[in-house]
Structure 1
């Protein structure tokens, strides 16, 4: 009996031993540290020898850098997005341009040299910008000449650390030799070996693992138990580039700017008649100049006598130049996309302004196409330089800011120009699909609020309309005509329209049906509605008011305006 039991016990024992060994192998396999190395080219999505991954701050971004002839490049859009949006791609001229407060620096694409508007030039010893297929690239070292950022390059595989901000960071020391893994977990692939004493940046703490960035900008995970000496580190900001100061010719007093719509040279003679009933106007803005051809030449009806008369009354003159009254013989796009035509235009405007003794320039370029937005902004930068050197106040007229017109770049305008004028009207215009106010109170308020997000209040002027629209709906067809306050008042009286206050629009509203069945509507601009708009301007602390256009108003509006200007 004993002889039969002993073998059975041995067999059972062996089964337990073998099972235990197998279980230990499973446990070991499950909990042991993987030694598998990650494919680093795959980790960085490296597509070729010139492809370079970018770690921006503590995050790997989708955009790429390029390593060509030992020089690091980024595509132009990424340079603008992440580093410096003041660079301008002169695609029509084959150039890259950088404009400071005093000069324009230009380099031809595919060259290592540059020259500036002061007559200086230089050679960087590397290709400053180049085309790779359809992609426009700019050398990072050239961008650094005008931008405070740093980059550190690594190879095998190619990646760069790009640093553009210098907030405090949490760092820690590696306590014991360990591995940086692609993901949290002992089975995750190894990105690199970390040695005791290495410093890592802490990005995110999990239960047992910590997401970190290593000294050579690998982002992965280490076990929490491998870290010690956690502390706060304050990076030293890069201050290699000192930007030039944009000085401004803003006034100490509130601006009260009256746009003077002059149709021809003889219109200058209407000055006295147009302002005799105004109050507290301190700037006149006559419509004197108009772009007329693709070379940047202008039509001018400017008058030195006009300026003398205005100055004798203590009023400044800022000459308006537009891109829509000079005929059909030019393309705004052609003018602003070429350096030579921009320069000729600016020279003409400044020369004519100085010639008649005026005090400033008012730029009124409308319906600029979105694709020409950056060229328009470059024109603004370059015109600001010329005005600054000539001692001329530089103001720019702008639509009420909306998402669809943000390419006018109010933020940059607010930096380089002296004043930004909001054209706080044409909420509903001739082409509108529905009848409505030319400038409802909420429209004006939102225009001011959104402008102040981009431009300092000391540079913002809000323009109010001295006109309205009379709307007609007949047979389902909508039409309208713009009329002055004077004509609108006469229209209301002659048709015995009962006006009622529309609190939402901040205006008096009236309607009636003609004998032929036409439905007529009017949102009246008057002293009351202007007063409501001025209250919004008063609350925002902006620099002043403008009016389009003097001669269209009823005299009672000036009391409201004068009170605001005198505050």
Structure 2
């Protein structure tokens, strides 16, 4: 019996050595394994309830850290780090920074960087319609994420061709399969449903909801950013209707509502009637209100505060994003029992905004 146990132990040990694990680090990191083997396990912040995600954009690591320090309620940060590229050797361009990941983890936040397609319809088709290029892209992204100990990814592919609708779902399915062994989350941004084929019709929301961990509805750009359509960036009825439509395809516990930390100032030439919109952060709007001594008025149609003023021959109009509109957006999240909120982009908001978000 004694010798049988010894032989059984040897056989078992040999079998263990011969079995590969799908969750091993890519070969590029094997040089670090011996060094890391004596280190204490890294504790990844866990999200047990509501997700509050904020995108970081147009800044440096130092800027992103400052932006992301605004509130403990912010438990997921999404720096704008990854994007597609035509270069076959480097189909993924990365700006990942280990300093930010370390800071975020030490601050109790997960890191889900944004992975964008630069709104490039042809490049997106070039990659996701080709199985080889798709898998190579996914492998490159996976290796980068494992190297930097990143917790998830936020896929923000926009302005895609309708013919790529099924290709995109398959791309996300393969991406999830590649990241799942590492416990990494996959979130996908979709527009609020609208008639435009490239900006809305390109998404199979039901299909994406089945393969991704979470779906983020971008609840803004109701005005489409121009075209002479003067109005709110995101009126509350329009946002709520968008959530209702999305919930026909995706379960509420997989949905995040993205809210705008920006608005637009619409300027109309009173002589010609021509108009244009300029994007403004919420802090910038507060300065305009103070400089011109403006009084906020409640707009019952959009359910937002509104200001306007005349300067020379120009009429200026702003539908405000402030603590009042943010509270109503958080009410929508509670009403439909959504998984959480996201904000585009942090650093433009006033302190009162986080007081509102933190109260939910």
Structure 1 partner of 2:351 = 555
Structure 1 partner of 2:175 = 383
Please give the secondary structure, in 1, of the residue aligned with 2:112.
strand
TM-score normalized by structure 2?
A: 0.82
Structure 1 partner of 2:27 = none
More helix by proportion, 1 or 2?
A: 2
Please give the secondary structure, in 2, of the residue aligned with 1:386.
helix
1:422-453: per-residue Cα shift (whole Å, max 9, x none)?
11111113323211101110111012111111
Please identify the structure whose Cα radius of gyration is greater: 1
TM-score normalized by structure 1?
A: 0.53
More strand by proportion, 1 or 2?
A: 1
Structure 2 partner of 1:477 = 274
Structure 2 partner of 1:321 = 115
- Taking the aligned partners of 2:93 and 2:180, their CA distance within structure 1 comes to 23
Change (3 A) 1:251 1:278: closer
Shift of 1:391: 1.8
| 506-515 or 459-468, larger mean C-alpha shift | 506-515
Structure 2 partner of 1:333 = 125
Structure 2 partner of 1:512 = 309
Contact 1:262 1:288 in 2 (8 A): no
Structure 2 partner of 1:498 = 295
Q: What aligned pairs does 1:77-96 form with structure 2 within 5 A after superposition?
A: none
Matched, 1:416 2:208: no
Shift of 1:271: 3.1
Please give the secondary structure, in 2, of the residue aligned with 1:556.
helix
Contact 1:337 1:372 in 2 (8 A): yes
Matched, 1:450 2:242: no
1:268-308: per-residue Cα shift (whole Å, max 9, x none)?
12233213332411100110001121637121110111111
1:177-217: per-residue Cα shift (whole Å, max 9, x none)?
xxxxxxxxxxxxxxxxxxxxxxxxxxxxxxxxxxxxxxxxx
Matched, 1:464 2:256: no
Shift of 1:553: 0.3
- Taking the aligned partners of 2:174 and 2:207, their CA distance within structure 1 comes to 12
Matched, 1:289 2:82: yes
Q: What aligned pairs does 1:245-260 form with structure 2 within 5 A after superposition?
A: 251-260=47-56
Alignment coverage as a number of residue pairs: 310
- Taking the aligned partners of 2:260 and 2:79, their CA distance within structure 1 comes to 16
1:221-246: per-residue Cα shift (whole Å, max 9, x none)?
xxxxxxxxxxxxxxxxxxxxxxxxxx
Contact 1:486 1:552 in 2 (8 A): yes
Shift of 1:537: 1.3
Matched, 1:392 2:184: yes
Show structure 2 runs of 5+ residues with no match: 1-21, 23-45
Q: What aligned pairs does 1:75-114 form with structure 2 within 5 A after superposition?
A: none
Q: What aligned pairs does 1:334-413 form with structure 2 within 5 A after superposition?
A: 334-402=126-194, 404=197, 405-413=200-208
Please give the secondary structure, in 1, of the residue aligned with 2:193.
coil
Q: Choose between structure 1 and 2 for higher RCO, CA contacts under 8 A separated by at least 6 residues.
A: 2
- Taking the aligned partners of 1:357 and 1:366, their CA distance within structure 2 comes to 26
